Structure 1
Amino acid sequence: MMTPLRRHVRTRSIAATAGVLLALTATACGGTQAAPAASENGLTTVRLGNVQLSDYAAVLLGVDQGIFERNGLNIELVDITPADLVGGLLSGQVDMNPNTGPGTVMAAGKGIPLAVVGGVSTFEAGPDGRTGSTLLVEAGSPIRTAADLEGKTVGVNLLASASEYGVRGVVDQAGGDGSDVSVIEVPFSAMGESLTANRIDAALVGDPYASLLLKTGQFEAPMGDPIEQVFGPAPRVVVTGTRDYVETNPEVVDKFQTALDESVEYADSHPDDMRAAMVEHFGTPADTVGDTGYPALESRVDAAGLDDIATILRENGALDSSADISGLTR
């Protein structure tokens, strides 16, 4: 059971996000029926978005291993920017796209007709005990617990995201007031210097940056990953399609879910291959890929996990209280 969080409204960032989602909603309302997926050489072609998320390498590894082909699917990878995770689906650029759990819930809450095809990961720690991000402070800092963050300045790479909500949420869970934390946007590459220059008191840093900073001995990780502590087993990365595509192509979607199950199972038991896929598909430097943690892999998504995300977003003013996300799961 989740600990209730205080409501934290981030007006400027959320308004900007809402504007994008409202524009996408207008596009969706004018959309047409999805065409049946094309078949080629006995395989059904699925145009799948490719975006750089460390855990998404599990899906790409499955493509490399021929798992999708053995399940009757020809995967055509299409490079997608993070800004097009929803728009690429609505425009017909791709048939399926990865997205974050919170991003998917926010889009659905704005009335965009998405459906979750399957999962990739949760916010929990992966096979080596890491999630891919951790909260860092300077060595010797008096900040040792979440409660110590109240009244402090914390750097995250993106505002109005799981990173910001994780930081505020752990302070609330510790009995403090998360709204009394100043959360500012800092690129991962600048977080170490921002800490040593005292521009921020703590930083929520993603790998490989976090692992490399810890190796210098100048920084400590006294409290793990706030995102994991707040979002827990909720879905972190999912694969989505438009509701129209999913309903029009149920056999394709079922084959994709089966291939996703097998891909995640393979990646979970072959971490070296998982990291090799990061090098091949994302250009992660081979000499730092070992420093890149990733969260627990999970190919199935249930409505309860999405509801947990919706609750956190509502507490932070990022989702309207009347938003209906019931259509996300099949």
Structure 2
Amino acid sequence: MRRLLIGLAAGAVLAAATACGSSDSGGSGTASGGTTTVKVGVIPIVDVAPVYLGQKKGFYSKRGLKLSLTTAQGGAAIVPGVVSGQFQFGFSNVTSLMVAQSKNVPVKAVANGVASTGKDGADFGGIVVKKGSAIKSPKDLVGKKVAVNTVKNIGDTSVRESVRRDGGDATKVKFVELAFDQMPAALDGGQIDAAWVVEPSLATVKAAGGKVIASNYVDVAPDLTVAMYFASTQYTQRNPDVVKRFREATEESLAYADSHPDEVRDILTTYTKIPEATLQKMILPKWPAKPNRVSIATLAKLGERDGLFKEMPDLDKLLP
């Protein structure tokens, strides 16, 4: 989800796969004493809390898996890492995975990742403006500068849908690429007119008096599947049992996280630097065990409309 895949050349990824992932050496993880260690590329954000929580609760170990979690800034590092065999599994938003699949990058989603709450005005991400802004609704974003963490991805696609739904011309929104943690200051300083932010930046903006003018994930589809865990297609074909165990453990972790929000907030302190006051104010996402395919298909159609794909992604090949 954060800086996921944009700017990544499919040819470079495929070259990496040929150079580093064409054999089985290390491809199935490291086995020791009946336990298989798998390397998982993640991003140090709220979304991946379930795998950290599942690791702590023993959901992976009871299935003979030991997770070696490696953080990266985004999918620009995780996607080629998975394809080359550096990681056995990785985390990415679904738009990035669809872009990759449409370019014949050999990726396969294996487990659900994170979803919108489905509640307008109470989601873990949204379009925000600063206190006192003249912008009152998405249609007012026409001609304005709106920050997204990565252009031509799930951010601007979903923001455009909010603008369309409000009767505005979505083609005339000016998108600016900016890291999430830089958005609150840029918004306050007037460098941008609005921003699409996710937690914890959302809580930071609201604490400064900012206002949420739209829940863009909710505007795309009810209960939108935002991100998933994935592997290379080669790995899934050669290691179906490991993939099955990873999927089952992840689904149990997702369900547990979804019903234990206090433990989620606690586990976040182990791999993020979110201040305690912000932790308690954040809106947590939903973590359903299964992806919402209808919502992903809707996101694919919007991506096609926005020119993200040269060819429409094949969801039958991409999704579990």
The reply to whether residue 273 of structure 1 matches residue 266 of structure 2 is no
* 1:210-249 Cα distance to aligned partner (Å, 9 max, x none): 22232233x222x332233125433212110111111111
| 1:312 aligned residue | 302
**TM-score, normalised with respect to structure 1:** 0.85
| Contact 2:199/2:283 (8 A) holds in 1 | yes
* 1:263-321 Cα distance to aligned partner (Å, 9 max, x none): 11111111111111111022333342223333211222365443333212111111113
| 2:109 aligned residue | 116
| Contact 1:59/1:120 (8 A) holds in 2 | no
Change (3 A) 1:251 1:187: closer
Secondary structure in structure 2 of the residue aligned to 1:124: coil
Change (3 A) 1:175 1:86: same
Which one is further off, 309-318 or 132-141? Answer: 132-141
The reply to whether residue 246 of structure 1 matches residue 236 of structure 2 is yes
The reply to whether residue 169 of structure 1 matches residue 161 of structure 2 is yes
| Contact 2:42/2:71 (8 A) holds in 1 | yes
Gaps of 5+ in 1: 1-12
* Mapped partners of 2:231, 2:187: distance in 1: 40
| 2:139 aligned residue | 147
What amino acid maps onto 1:98 in structure 2?
F
Q: CA deviation at 1:165?
A: 1.4
Secondary structure in structure 1 of the residue aligned to 2:67: strand
* Mapped partners of 1:258, 1:92: distance in 2: 22
* Mapped partners of 2:148, 2:43: distance in 1: 20
Change (3 A) 1:279 1:99: same
Within a 5 Å distance, the mapping from 1:176-325 to structure 2 comes to: 176-217=168-209, 219-221=210-212, 223-301=213-291, 303-325=293-315
The reply to whether residue 103 of structure 1 matches residue 107 of structure 2 is no
Within a 5 Å distance, the mapping from 1:20-35 to structure 2 comes to: 20-28=9-17, 31-34=21-24, 35=27
Secondary structure in structure 1 of the residue aligned to 2:134: coil
What amino acid maps onto 1:94 in structure 2?
F
Change (3 A) 1:125 1:194: same
Change (3 A) 1:50 1:266: same
* Mapped partners of 1:305, 1:18: distance in 2: 25
| 1:92 aligned residue | 85
Gaps of 5+ in 2: none
What amino acid maps onto 1:242 in structure 2?
S
What amino acid maps onto 2:177 in structure 1?
E
Change (3 A) 1:307 1:134: closer
* Mapped partners of 1:308, 1:33: distance in 2: 37
The reply to whether residue 158 of structure 1 matches residue 150 of structure 2 is yes
* Mapped partners of 1:76, 1:208: distance in 2: 25
Q: CA deviation at 1:193?
A: 4.3
| Contact 2:118/2:223 (8 A) holds in 1 | no
Secondary structure in structure 2 of the residue aligned to 1:236: strand
Identical-residue share of aligned pairs (%): 27
What amino acid maps onto 2:16 in structure 1?
T
| 1:326 aligned residue | 316
| Contact 2:222/2:295 (8 A) holds in 1 | no
* 1:110-150 Cα distance to aligned partner (Å, 9 max, x none): 10111111002123348x97432222223343322222222
* 1:151-194 Cα distance to aligned partner (Å, 9 max, x none): 32222233222221122121112232101111222444443444
What amino acid maps onto 1:220 in structure 2?
K
* Mapped partners of 2:274, 2:61: distance in 1: 26
Query: Of the two structures, which has the highest relative contact order with CA contacts closer than 8 Å and spacing of 6 or more?
Result: 1
What amino acid maps onto 1:105 in structure 2?
M
Change (3 A) 1:26 1:101: same
Secondary structure in structure 2 of the residue aligned to 1:205: strand
Change (3 A) 1:110 1:69: same
What amino acid maps onto 1:23 in structure 2?
A
* Mapped partners of 2:186, 2:30: distance in 1: 51
Change (3 A) 1:193 1:78: closer
